[in-house]
Amino acid sequence: MLTLAGIIIFLYAVSSILGLWLASQVTKVLEGDGPMPEVFAETPRHHLELMVNYAMGSRALAWRVSIGALVTTLVALAFSSALAFWALGFALAIDCLLFMTCRDIKPILSQTTQTERLVDAAQCLALLASLTLFLIMTLNGRLG
């Protein structure tokens, strides 16, 4: 189960890193630093708006800190350290704050498909299950 939790966190970290990179590319295009690549031309507008919102100013810094906490989680997990629980909790707290404070979130969410919402819900459940597993293992002394 611990291996599965590690895989889930690894995939989430990779998707966060790729998301940050894509968001920086979208921001560059919107600032006039080049033409719109085809992949962005076909991307739904609400995805682009969400990426830009996450990539601006202090939000981009918070996103980077969250990614750093995810990487810390993976390293701590490799050493069976209780830090895995705290780092993952910190990363998820930052992600939640970024999402909850996103400007114009209601119009963005109203444009998502049911499939997108189901995938997001499954991702949230998997991450919360991983956090719960780390908590139980930390309390039982198996991570420490």
User: Do 33 and 24 meet the contact criterion of CB atoms below 8 Å apart?
Assistant: no
Q: What is the mean pLDDT of the chain?
A: 90
Task: Tell me the three-class secondary structure of 84-104, residue by residue.
Answer: HHHHHHHHHHHHHHHHHCCCC
> Span 12-41, mean pLDDT?
84
Band the pLDDT of 88: cuts 50, 70, 90: very high
Stretch 34-46: mean pLDDT: 78
> What is the per-residue pLDDT across 101-120, written as a single tens digit (0 to 9) for each?
988 888 888 999 999 999 99
Q: Is pLDDT above 90 for 7? A: yes
Listed in sequence order, the residues at least 6 apart from 144 whose beta carbon sits closer than 8 Å to its beta carbon are 80, 81, 82, 138
- How big, in percent rounded to 5, are the helix, strand and coil portions of the chain? 80, 0, 20
Q: What's this model's pTM, rounded to 2 decimal places?
A: 0.87
Mind listing the pLDDT tens digit for each residue in 48-60? 888 888 888 899 9
User: Residue 25 has what pLDDT?
Assistant: 83
